[in-house]
A and B are shown apart, each in its own frame.
Chain A
Amino acid sequence: MPHILECKGLVKRFGKKEALAGIDLVLEPGRIVGLLGPNGSGKTTLIKLINGLLVPTEGTIRIGGFPPSVESKRLISYLPEHTYLSDWMRVRDLFAFFKDFYTDFNLNKAEDMLQRLSIAPGDRIKTLSKGNKEKVQLILVMSREAQLYLLDEPIGGVDPAARDYILSTILSNYSESATVLISTHLIADVERVLDHIVFIREGKILRSEQVDTLREQEGKSVDAVFREVFKC
């Protein structure tokens, strides 16, 4: 089976600071993967490198066989940590924007999800609450039929009800053949949805395995193992 993501010897330095120190990672299609690590461990840097927002200092990345490029961007649906929506736009403008640039954007799915949130397509982004802005952004990302979803801290800074909404939206909208990479440090909330985990600390991968294997080997939940591994 071809790999959806392949990183070899990936190093990223910002001046003298080494954010990633030789990442080797292979992800296969059809998995929900947790990229787990404390703050500052290199999760966001790795996601930005996969997206092409940063350029690696050393090493290579392949997404569906392509290096980070226009071709790889067609395969990736990315949810950043921050809101990137333009305040002046209406929700329907954003849908039109995504429809224009991504051939895999499913407008019906997006409108359906929006309706369930009781947000009108004509609402301007600046009038939405922070939570609703994040939900609209999630709808945009999950309405694409992408091959790789990169979700950077999707449940960070939201209330428990919103976390449930976000996780159920992810679970019910990604295509079975796609891979979802979720970066977070809130393990307990995402543990139930994960197939595979990648523990990352100080720019190095400490562990990358199936969730079931990890539970069998350790006899503990992922959350408990995480707390043990990343104990301060």
Chain B
Amino acid sequence: MLIKLFKHEFKATGRIFLPMYALLVVFSVITKYVNQNMRVDSLLFGILSYLPTLMYICIIAGICMMTLVLLIQRFFKNLLGPEGYLMHTLPVRPWQHVACKLLTSTFWSISSMCIVSLSSLYMGVNVQDWHSFIATFRGMLAVAAAPLNLTANAFFWGLIAVLVAYVIKMTLMIYAGLGIGQLSSKRKVGASVLAIVGLNIVEQLAAVIVLVLWGESSGILSHGSGAEIIRFVFWWIMGSAGLFSVIYAFVCNWMLKRNLNLA
């Protein structure tokens, strides 16, 4: 059933993301071509030459906005709004709905980051400079990784792991907030926003308190070397993201299973 949910969720979201990605690719090419080849010899051409760049920036902003909006909208409308009457009467368990929405949303969030990054690289780096760019990038990673006794590759994948863990945790926090907000009989949207802000504050406070108490009691924060502190913070980020993800997933599942409040 989870695979069937994925299939329909990708269909519902892909119809929005894929055209936007295609638009970004097209405008990346156009903007780069215009910037490299257009001769600005009048005010009009000067203004016109900036139009593709403006469009390009708007598309990037649109993709970022759309990723966040769809993350919220798909969960809220599809599971907590009128469409919930269909979704929650399918022979599917509540955790499968949460897993489907989470993994699809994470996939699109990471895809959006990748496509925006790749497009920016394409815009900023010429093909002939590509090898020197990669070498410079690897060098920067190696410099950052050296105090940690890590290779550039290990450091890079560590950063990616932190990013993915945070995307998953943030997504689940938003879902948990929406699940709590839907309990309100009249102002579901307002209550959801308050719940998300509230969860964020509580999480930040709890995470910082644990960081300080644990770091101080183990002596790492006061006496540890720079590498030890960075390693400690890395595992704290991963651990707290994992712990809060589990808590938020439990809240989401419980809300959908025991406290559904469809209008």
Q: Residues of A at under 8 Å CB distance from B?
A: 48, 51-55, 70-71, 73-74, 76, 78, 80, 82-86, 88, 93, 97, 100-102
Contact = CB atoms under 8 A, between A and B. Distances in A.
Contact of B86 (A55, A74, A84, A88): A84
B12 A88 contact: yes
Of the four ranges (under 10, 10 to 19, 20 to 34, 35 or more), the interface on chain B belongs to 20 to 34
Contacts of A51: 88-89
A71 B90 CA distance: 10
Contact of B15 (A82, A85, A88, A100): A88
Contacts of A85: 83, 86
Contacts of B7: 100
Contacts of B103: none
B15 A73 contact: no
22 contacts: A48-B262, A52-B88, A52-B89, A53-B89, A53-B260, A55-B257, A70-B92, A71-B91, A73-B90, A74-B91, A78-B89, A80-B85, A82-B82, A82-B263, A84-B83, A85-B83, A86-B12, A86-B78, A100-B7, A101-B4, A101-B91, A101-B92
Interface in B220-251: none
Contact of A83 (B4, B15, B82, B90): B82
Interface of B: 1, 4, 7-8, 11-12, 15, 78, 82-86, 88-93, 257-260, 262-263
A40 to B, nearest CB: 15
Contacts of A52: 88-89
A154 to B, nearest CB: 14
Contacts of A53: 85, 88-89, 260, 262
Contacts of B93: 70
A83 B85 CA distance: 9
Contacts, number: 54
Contacts of A100: 4, 7-8
B200 to A, nearest CB: 28
A145 to B, nearest CB: 14
B85 A101 contact: no
B82 A54 contact: no
B82 A101 contact: no
A51 B78 CA distance: 17
Nearest to A152: B85
A102 B83 contact: no
Given A84-B83, A88-B12, A100-B4, A54 B91 contact: no
Nearest to B4: A100
A76 B257 CA distance: 18
A76 B165 CA distance: 39
B262 A73 contact: no
B55 to A, nearest CB: 25
Nearest to A89: B12
Closest 3 CB pairs of A and B: A84-B85, A84-B86, A80-B85
A101 to B, nearest CB: 5
Nearest to B259: A55
B90 A101 contact: yes
A73 B91 contact: yes
